[in-house]
Structure 1
């Protein structure tokens, strides 16, 4: 039997990258998937697509109400909408700092805010927040993204504590370097890309589907006793640093 049969899943950032991979993987496993994104739906989108800017609280409330009215429930929410921007504290524009936090962190809080009452009523649900290895540890010139993803970790733990009584599980994923449109700028710089990839102990970058596979587990009943966890999907990046060249 499909692992998400008869379940309704909502995915933000659904038009590309990890979000789109989650949509496709969940649909393959039998879920009715609703994708939300500020961009246009890709061709042959496997589910219902709605346009959403995750900074728009009124629109979030409206769409979640429509989804619940149409399907009667929401079993899983994947908060995959996110952006990146560069700069240290003294280099980044304040507007850019705020935009990164609004989309990556506050957006995840707002979508959860309008899904949680339904999950409380049905006494079940799984929320999966897409964080980053740079929420587990910092890196240079990336302050807004680091802070936003670090905030995702605490948002995840806080919601797991507050809503566990209703059998609502909240977990986060911390991807390493994943081949998505958001990381194209890394691939444009060959030397840096090679160095960054070498710091993943598997000596390669990951694919969006590899993150989606772990999200699928967390959305399924197989993860029925997993909550409040930040799971690194990073090819071993967070295991530590390699000082000698990789073995051939």
Structure 2
């Protein structure tokens, strides 16, 4: 099992959950030292926003575990909240590199390894609720995450005959280190929580549980799907009182 972006909230919780299920887990991040608190059998320093880094991550996992990782969770990501007219070209380039380029390179390296080994497998990529429904001031991140979803659907169609399943989780507002600066302001937390029909702000464990299920044999008939873990945000409207 290979988990990228393992230092982040969702990646870290997913590693913990998979380890508890008895799986061998390789955690990937740019800094192996920062991965020490993550529950994993192997910690790999690799920059998966480059093709070389993605290939290194897969190769290191394969060498340590004796086979290509049959499960991949790609949790690398960043965000940007800004209207398009205030989004600089360099901001868009960086956002695309972290969110979309990394998904292309990591998924490609994983597919290549499993095809060479003739093995089936399951992968989960991370999108966002803002790619599912229009949210003001999220144009750039919505475009990048929308690309991730399109990538997963096409790859799922291409590699289904090889027994490779590829799905996506699209979280709503989630309590993670990335969202901590915004959620620490009580007024902003309350405003965010009111937007969700089920109320409140979800924890990373909720998203990780869905990702773990998609990677399991229980989801063996699912591929090319985008599962919104968003408290109903993208599908229903909250009751305003």
Question: Which TM-score tier does this pair reach, normalised by the shorter chain?
Answer: over 0.9
Could you say which residue in structure 1 is the equivalent of 2:205? Answer: 209
Q: Please report how far the alpha carbon of residue 243 of structure 1 lies from its aligned counterpart in structure 2 after TM superposition.
A: 5.2
Give unmatched runs, 5+ long, in structure 1. 1-8
Q: Please report how far the alpha carbon of residue 189 of structure 1 lies from its aligned counterpart in structure 2 after TM superposition.
A: 3.5
Could you say which residue in structure 2 is the equivalent of 1:31? Answer: 23
> For each residue in 1:206-230, what CA deviation from the matched residue of structure 2 results, as whole angstroms up to 9, or x when unmatched?
1111111111111111111010100
Query: How far apart in 2 are the matches of 1:192 and 1:15?
Result: 25
Query: How far apart in 2 are the matches of 1:234 and 1:73?
Result: 32
> For each residue in 1:3-36, what CA deviation from the matched residue of structure 2 results, as whole angstroms up to 9, or x when unmatched?
xxxxxx1111101200111111111111111111
Answer yes or no: is 1:46 the counterpart of 2:46: no
Answer yes or no: is 1:70 the counterpart of 2:60: no
Could you say which residue in structure 1 is the equivalent of 2:8? Answer: 16
- Name the CA shift for 1:242/1:201 in 2 (closer, same or farther; >3 Å): closer
Equivalent residue pairs, number: 237
Could you say which residue in structure 2 is the equivalent of 1:61? Answer: 55
Query: How far apart in 2 are the matches of 1:44 and 1:176?
Result: 23
Contact 1:15 1:42 in 2 (8 A): no
| Equivalent in 76, 81, 87 of residue 86 of structure 1 | 81
Of 159-168 and 70-79, deviating more is: 70-79
Q: Which structure 2 residues correspond to residues 1-248 of structure 1 after superposition, within 5 A?
A: 9-39=1-31, 40-43=34-37, 45-71=39-65, 72-120=67-115, 121-242=117-238, 244-245=240-241
Of 235-244 and 96-105, deviating more is: 235-244
Q: Please report how far the alpha carbon of residue 92 of structure 1 lies from its aligned counterpart in structure 2 after TM superposition.
A: 1.1
Of 152-161 and 195-204, deviating more is: 195-204
TM-score by length of 1: 0.90
Query: How far apart in 2 are the matches of 1:66 and 1:191?
Result: 45
Contact 1:33 1:46 in 2 (8 A): yes
Could you say which residue in structure 2 is the equivalent of 1:3? Answer: none
Query: How far apart in 1 are the matches of 2:94 and 2:123?
Result: 23
Q: Please report how far the alpha carbon of residue 44 of structure 1 lies from its aligned counterpart in structure 2 after TM superposition.
A: 5.6
Query: How far apart in 2 are the matches of 1:62 and 1:105?
Result: 18
> For each residue in 1:59-88, what CA deviation from the matched residue of structure 2 results, as whole angstroms up to 9, or x when unmatched?
221231222233212111111010112322
Contact 2:16 2:38 in 1 (8 A): no
Q: Please report how far the alpha carbon of residue 101 of structure 1 lies from its aligned counterpart in structure 2 after TM superposition.
A: 0.8
RMSD, aligned α-carbons = 1.5
TM-score by length of 2: 0.93
Query: How far apart in 2 are the matches of 1:163 and 1:83?
Result: 27
